[in-house]
Amino acid sequence: MTFKTLDDVTDLHGKTALVRVDFNVPVEDGQITDDTRLRVALPTIEKLQKLGAKVALLAHFDRPKGKVVPEMSLKFVAPALSALLGTTVAFASDCVGPDATEVLKRMPQGGVALLENVRFHAGEETNDPEFAVQLAALGDIYVNDAFSAAHRAHASTEGVAHLLPAYAGESMRRELDALNAALGAPVRPTIGIVGGSKVSTKLDLLKNLVGKLDALAIGGGMANTFLYAQGHEVGDSLCEKDLKDTALEILKEAEAKGCRILLPLDVVVAQEFKAHAANRTVDLGAVLSADDKIFDAGPRTVAQLKDVIANSKTLIWNGPLGVFELPPFDAATVAAAKFAAEQTQSGKLVAVAGGGDTVAALNHAGVVQDMTFVSTAGGAFLEWMEGKDLPGVSALG
């Protein structure tokens, strides 16, 4: 899709840019434990400052459910953002109305203000047109830099985009470019890796990917359901036996669409769910006892996967290949991640990954910086992988 970016703006002197960011940061004992989301917003804020705009930041925090909940105020973010930007960030105690208007009026060109939690208003999550009008009244242009909130059609992510000239911010643009390179218009051959615990949470994702990719490796707990559907023993492994027919349908669909499916050739089994549990590696087809649980893919599976990655130009990855939290059952995930990172670093592969546990697994493997792009957008990333329209992105088009 095409959307306008800040490169399409030349001068914003005397104008106010209303910018949706994701400042829903993790907090412990009143301290921000990870300020990645603040850092991600800096390029957009700085670019708008350079263009001469006043910058009004809109964000949500936690789930106040349409009421003012003082403990969910965004006020504590303003000093942290000030420190990162090196300029004072003003704070308005409401995101619409006279408080916000007054703070913005008093601010100089290039000034930055953070507005209070948009979710203090019920109209935010219901995408109330009147609330969107109140938001739009504060700005001359709208910039969305919160891809991670783009799967929600809320007033500050969707409604307001129709009321002002709308642009993708710098990190939104980066994310959309990466996602487009991975699945929208990828260089082929393409391979996907889908792992994680359950097929049931990733049905839409699997169905979308088999229609788009040249190859798809299925790993993690969800591979057990596919192995079971094909008649293999899975012992006491995580397995959704009721999804047998669904798994077979996905395999059939893949065949019809010319997507090669890679399932484990060998597996690592243990009986206890704990780190360093006694384990053995067996070929697929080996007899598993009733207590055996498959916790990881084996070395033959990894070798096959590496071979296919080596012959691919684009990789899209969601879901670990095993119980990576418990070594040594992190082995397949780490080996595949390191190989994908090497291929990416030598310019042979575009590798894009995302998902809560996937990001944790890639961090564990130490390769987040070496992939082309790792999305921390969670739900928005998964919905995009499922082929769904993201309302916050569509509204920019």
Residue 37 annotated in active site: yes
Euclidean distance between CA atoms 377 and 387, whole angstroms: 15
DSSP state of 181: I
User: What is the smallest separation between the CB atom of 323 and Mg ion, expressed in angstroms?
Assistant: 12
- Please give the single-letter amino acid code of residue 249: E
User: What is the smallest separation between the CB atom of 276 and ligand ADP, expressed in angstroms?
Assistant: 15
Total residues binding ligand ADP (CB under 6 A)? 18
Q: Are 327 and 273 spatial neighbours (Cβ–Cβ below 8 Å)?
A: no
Task: List alpha helices for the chain, DSSP H.
Answer: 36-50, 77-85, 97-106, 122-125, 129-136, 170-179, 203-210, 220-229, 244-257, 299-310, 331-345, 356-365, 379-385, 391-394
Q: Please, which of residues 353-382 interact with ligand ADP by CB under 6 A?
A: 355-358
Report the candidate in 289, 271, 272 with the shortest Cα–Cα distance to residue 233.
289
Residue 379 annotated in active site: yes
Contact window for Mg ion (CB under 5 A) among 114-122, 284-292, 346-354, 357-365: 357-365
Q: Please, which of residues 29-48 interact with ligand ADP by CB under 6 A?
A: none
Among 73, 109, 197, 394, binds ligand ADP (CB under 6 A): 197
- Binding track, positions 319-358, relative to ligand ADP; x by CB under 6 A: xx-xx-x-----------------------------xxxx
Which member of 37, 54, 152, 173 is catalytic? Answer: 37
Among 123, 221, 264, 298, binds ligand ADP (CB under 6 A): 221
Among 357, 367, 374, 383, binds Mg ion (CB under 5 A): 357
Q: Does 238 bind ligand ADP (CB under 6 A)?
A: yes
DSSP-based helix, strand, coil % in the chain, nearest 5: 40, 20, 40
Q: Are 257 and 211 spatial neighbours (Cβ–Cβ below 8 Å)?
A: yes
Which member of 52, 66, 379, 387 is catalytic? Answer: 379
Output the CA–CA distances (angstroms, integers) from residue 202 to 184, 192, 284, 318, in the order listed. 19, 13, 24, 10
Report the candidate in 220, 236, 221, 231 with the shortest Cα–Cα distance to residue 270.
236
Q: Please, which of residues 92-151 interact with Mg ion by CB under 5 A?
A: none
User: What is the smallest separation between the CB atom of 202 and ligand ADP, expressed in angstroms?
Assistant: 7
Contact window for Mg ion (CB under 5 A) among 80-88, 259-267, 321-329, 354-362: 354-362
- Please give the single-letter amino acid code of residue 169: G
Interaction partner, residue 147 (ligand ADP, Mg ion, none; CB < 5-8 Å by kind): none
Q: Does 220 bind ligand ADP (CB under 6 A)?
A: yes
Euclidean distance between CA atoms 60 and 303, whole angstroms: 44
Tokens of 355: 């998902």
Instruction: Write the Ramachandran bin of 44: left for phi over 0, alpha for psi from -120 to 50, otherwise beta.
Output: alpha
- Please give the single-letter amino acid code of residue 310: A
Contact window for Mg ion (CB under 5 A) among 13-21, 213-221, 327-335, 356-364: 356-364
Interaction partner, residue 294 (ligand ADP, Mg ion, none; CB < 5-8 Å by kind): ligand ADP
Sheet holding 279-283, edge to edge: 279-283, 266-270, 293-297
Interaction partner, residue 318 (Mg ion, ligand ADP, none; CB < 5-8 Å by kind): ligand ADP
Q: Does 356 bind Mg ion (CB under 5 A)?
A: yes
Which member of 4, 15, 75, 198 is catalytic? Answer: 198
Closer residue to ligand ADP, CB minimum distance, 124 or 240: 240
Report the candidate in 119, 116, 124, 21 with the shortest Cα–Cα distance to residue 62.
119
Give residues in contact with ligand ADP (CB under 6 A): 195-197, 220-221, 238, 294-295, 318-320, 322-323, 325, 355-358
Give residues in contact with Mg ion (CB under 5 A): 356-357
Catalytic residues: 37, 198, 356, 379
